[in-house]
Structure formats: structure tokens, C-alpha cells
């Protein structure tokens, strides 16, 4: 498991812990339980093959990670008895979205400049190569 994937999983636990501790300290376990129940939306991973793919973005791929589902989760925040579950679901989706951004940035990171890559960068017709204006 990559460091990014491990950090993603840790954040799925740490964010509900912090929110429950900061805002619901007297009812910490109750709040943490409702916020953590958001992990149940990951049951839709069972519909995918493979079930777990570390380089796959969940947003838009799994049925419970789509825009209509997110609109429903936002609506849950408006219903007082379901507010914490809705908040937990939105936090879950946000963390999954951040993970998708992390993966897309990792795919587009610049390659390491090495001596063997220099000929590709330099155009023989210019002393500045590709960097000339």
C-alpha cells in the first residue's frame, strides 16, 4: 500500500475523530459513530472488479460516489436526526475527491531531468532549445 493510500485511510478515521472531539465532546462516541457510518457507502466497491484498485478514483465510478448521491447526502444534513450521517457522507466524499486529485497530480508530475533526457529538450536550431521565445 502506498503512502498516499495509507494517508487516505487514516484521514477517513482522523476527520470524524477530530470533528466529534471538537464539536461533540460530551457525546463523542455517539457523534463519532454517526460520522464513521459514512464508510458504509464503500459497500459499492463490491460491485467493481477488482474490488480494490489503489489507482482508481472512486468519484463518479462507484454508484454511491456520484453526483446524485452527493446531492442526497447534502439533503441529509438538512434533516436534524440524520445531520451527522449526512456530514459524515460529505466528509467521506470530500476525502475521496482529494484522493482523486492527489492521484491525478501524481500522474502529471514532471519527469526527472537526466543527462539522457537533455537531447529531447534541446533543439539544434536554437541555443535555447525549446525554452526560447
Domain count, the chain: 1
In a domain, 124, yes or no: no
In a domain, 80, yes or no: yes
pLDDT of residue 114: 52
pLDDT of residue 126: 46
In a domain, 26, yes or no: yes
In a domain, 126, yes or no: no
3-class SS string, the chain = CCHHHHHHHHHHHHHHHHHHHHHCHHHHHHHHHHHHHHHHHHHHHHHCCCCCCCCCCCCCCCHHHCHHHHHHHHHHHCCHHHHHHHHHHHHHHHHHHHHHHHHHHHHCCCCCCCHHHHHHHCCCCCCCHHHCC
**pLDDT tens digits, 81-118:** 999 999 999 999 999 999 999 888 876 554 444 555 44
Query: Are the C-beta atoms of residues 100 and 57 closer than 8 Å to each other?
Result: yes
pLDDT of residue 108: 59
In a domain, 81, yes or no: yes
**pLDDT tens digits, 47-86:** 999 888 888 899 999 999 999 999 999 999 999 999 999 9
pLDDT of residue 19: 97
In a domain, 8, yes or no: yes
In a domain, 50, yes or no: yes
Please give the residue range of the domain that contains residue 15.
Answer: 3-107
Amino acid at each position: 500500500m502506498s503512502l498516499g493510500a495509507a494517508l487516505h485511510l487514516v484521514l477517513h478515521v482522523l476527520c470524524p475523530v477530530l470533528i466529534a472531539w471538537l464539536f461533540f465532546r460530551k457525546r463523542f462516541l455517539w457523534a463519532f459513530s454517526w460520522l464513521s457510518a459514512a464508510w458504509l457507502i464503500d459497500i459499492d466497491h463490491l460491485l467493481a472488479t477488482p474490488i480494490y484498485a489503489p489507482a482508481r478514483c472512486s468519484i463518479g465510478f462507484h454508484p454511491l460516489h456520484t453526483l446524485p448521491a452527493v446531492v442526497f447526502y447534502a439533503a441529509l444534513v438538512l434533516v436534524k436526526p440524520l445531520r451527522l450521517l449526512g456530514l459524515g457522507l460529505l466528509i467521506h466524499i470530500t476525502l475521496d475527491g482529494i484522493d482523486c486529485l492527489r492521484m491525478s497530480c501524481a500522474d502529471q508530475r514532471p519527469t526527472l531531468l537526466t543527462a539522457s533526457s537533455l537531447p529531447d529538450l534541446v533543439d539544434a536550431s536554437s541555443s535555447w532549445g525549446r525554452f526560447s521565445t
